[in-house]
Chains A and B, each alone.
Chain A
Amino acid sequence: MKKTYEILHNSDVMKKAKDAIFADRDNTIAQHKALVLVPAFSRHEEKRADFYQQLMEAEGFESVRDSVNNVYTVIKGDGNGPTLYFTAHLDTVFPMDTPLEIKMNGEKYACPGIGDDTAALSQTLTLLRAIKASGIRFKGDLIIGGNVGEEGLGDLYGVKQFFKDHPSGIDGFISVDGFPHSIVYGGTGSYRYEVRFHGAGGHSMADFGMPNPVHAMGRAIAKISDVKVPYEPWTTFSCGVVEGGTSINSIAHDCKFLLDIRSDSKGCLDKANEEIMACIRAAVEEENARWAAERDRDEKSPYKPGPGQLPHADRTVSLEIVQVGNRPAGSQPVDLPLIRACAADYEFFGYETGYIPASSTDANVPISLGVPGVTLGGGGTSTGAHSLAEEFDPTGLEQGVYELFILIAALLGVEGLTDPLLPKLA
Chain B
Amino acid sequence: MNKTYETLMASEVVKKGLEIMKADEAHTWEQHQELVLIPAFSRHEEQRAKRFAEMMRAEGLDVTVDEVNNVYALIKGAGNGPTVYMTAHIDTVFPMDTPLSIRKEGDRYYCPGIGDDTAQLAQILTLVRVIKGSGVKFKGDLIIGGNVGEEGLGDLYGVRHFFGKKENADMVDGFITFDGSSTGIVTGGTGSYRYKVSFKGPGGHSYGDFGMPNPIFAMGRAISLFSQMKAPVDKKTTFSVGVVEGGTSVNSIPYACSMLVDMRSESKANLDAEDECFKKIIAQAVEEENARWMEDKELYSDRYSKAGFVPLCDRKVEAVIEQLGNRPVGEIQPVDSPIVKASIDAFRAVGIEPVMRGCSSTDANIPISMGIPAVGMGGGGKGGGAHSSGEWFDPTDITRNLSKNFVLLCGLLGVDGLTEPLLPVREK
Contact = CB atoms under 8 A, between A and B. Distances in A.
A290 interface: yes
Interface stretch (B10-18, B37-45, B227-235): B227-235
B220 A260 contact: no
A244 interface: yes
Interface string A225-264: 1100001001011111111111111111001011110100
Contact of B222 (A208, A218, A247): A218
Contacts of A251: 240, 242
Interface in B284-298: 285, 289, 292, 296
28 contacts: A204-B240, A204-B264, A205-B262, A214-B244, A215-B226, A215-B241, A216-B227, A219-B220, A219-B223, A222-B217, A222-B223, A224-B217, A225-B214, A237-B206, A240-B206, A241-B248, A242-B219, A243-B244, A243-B245, A245-B241, A247-B242, A248-B243, A252-B243, A258-B250, A260-B250, A260-B251, A290-B227, A290-B228
Contact of A218 (B231, B241, B250, B324): B241
Given A223-B224, A234-B210, 6 more contacts: A212-B241, A214-B242, A218-B227, A242-B245, A255-B244, A294-B231
Interface of B: 190, 194, 206-207, 210, 214, 216-228, 231, 233, 236, 238-254, 257, 259-262, 264, 285, 289, 292, 296, 299-300, 324-325
Contacts of A220: 220
B223 A208 contact: no
Given A252-B243, A325-B250, A302 B257 contact: no
B246 A242 contact: yes
Contacts of B253: 238, 240
Leading 10 A-B pairs by shortest Cβ distance: A218-B223, A221-B220, A215-B227, A222-B224, A236-B210, A225-B217, A241-B247, A245-B243, A238-B206, A208-B238
Contacts of B249: 240-241, 258
Interface string A186-203: 001010100000000000
A287 interface: yes
A300 B232 CA distance: 12
A241 B254 contact: yes
A214 B222 CA distance: 11
Most chain A beta-carbon neighbours within 10 Å: one of B207, B239, B292: B207
A217 interface: yes
B217 A239 contact: yes
Given A212-B240, A239-B220, A252-B242, A245 B289 contact: no
Contacts of B222: 218
Nearest to A202: B240
B243 A208 contact: no
Contacts of B251: 192, 238, 240, 260
A221 B241 contact: no
A300 B236 CA distance: 13
B247 A258 contact: yes
A240 B254 contact: yes
Contacts of B218: 225
Interface string A83-117: 00000000000000000000000000000000000
Contact of B296 (A225, A231, A244, A290): A231
B243 A217 contact: no
Contacts, number: 182
A406 interface: no
A224 B220 contact: yes
Contacts of B262: 204-205, 248-249
A238 B223 CA distance: 17
A37 interface: no
A240 B248 contact: yes
Nearest to B289: A225
Most chain B beta-carbon neighbours within 10 Å: one of A190, A209, A212: A212
A417 interface: no
Contacts of B214: 225, 238-239
A250 B242 CA distance: 5
A301 interface: yes
A262 B206 CA distance: 9
A388 interface: no
Nearest to B233: A302
Given A231-B296, A249-B262, A290-B227, A239 B216 contact: yes
Interface string A250-287: 11100101111010000000000000000000010001
A290 B222 CA distance: 17
A231 B244 contact: no
A422 B324 CA distance: 67
Interface residues of A, number: 55
Contacts of B261: 248
Contacts of B244: 214, 217, 242-245, 255
A179 to B, nearest CB: 16
A259 B250 CA distance: 6
B220 A225 contact: yes
A238 B210 contact: yes
B220 A245 contact: no
Contacts of A257: 216
B302 to A, nearest CB: 9
A221 B250 contact: no
B242 A204 contact: yes
Contacts of B219: 218, 221, 242
A324 interface: yes
B207 A236 contact: yes
Contacts of A219: 220, 223-224, 227
Contacts of B246: 241-243
B292 A300 contact: no
Interface string A287-326: 1001000100000111000000000000000000000110
A324 B221 CA distance: 25
Nearest to B222: A218
A241 to B, nearest CB: 4
Contact of A225 (B238, B260, B292): B292
Contacts of A224: 217, 220
Contacts of B220: 217-222, 224-225, 239
A390 B236 CA distance: 59
Contacts of B207: 188, 190, 234, 236, 260, 262
Contacts of A283: 224
Nearest to A297: B233
Contacts of B194: 248-249
Nearest to A206: B238
Nearest to A324: B250
Contacts of B206: 236-238, 240, 260, 262
B327 to A, nearest CB: 11
B255 to A, nearest CB: 11
A218 B243 contact: no
Contacts of B325: 248
Contacts of B299: 231
A205 B299 CA distance: 46
Contacts of A208: 231, 236, 238-240
A239 B215 CA distance: 9
Contacts of A252: 242-243
B217 A205 contact: no
Contacts of A215: 223-224, 226-227, 240-241
Contact of B227 (A209, A212, A241, A246): A212
A237 B240 CA distance: 27
A291 B356 CA distance: 29
